[in-house]
Amino acid sequence: MTSYEPGAFASTTWRKSSYSGGDNGDCVDVADGVPGVVPVRDSKDPQGPALLFAVEAWRSFIAEVKGGRLGA
């Protein structure tokens, strides 16, 4: 996982994760289309830093979430 400075992905199209906390503000935004990585940021701080995950690591994480294998 790598962290990038604020504004590094200003021209990137972000979407709210479907697994985020809903209307309570506990949400993450995910960006597609960045070669080799999946940027993730706090939706409450869109100008803040993004964490970058390797594509395979992100896919594994999503599979664990969908499979209910992560504790709440």
Count of residues making up the chain? 72
Q: Rounded to the nearest 5 degrees, what angle is found at the Cα of 38, between the Cα atoms of 27 and 7?
A: 75
pLDDT for position 3: 58
Beta carbons of 31 and 14 less than 8 angstroms apart: yes
**Half-sphere exposure at residue 1, Cβ-oriented, CA atoms within 13 angstroms:** 10
Amino acid at 38: V
- Dump pLDDT digits (tens) for 28-72: 899 987 888 999 988 888 888 888 999 999 999 989 988 988 865
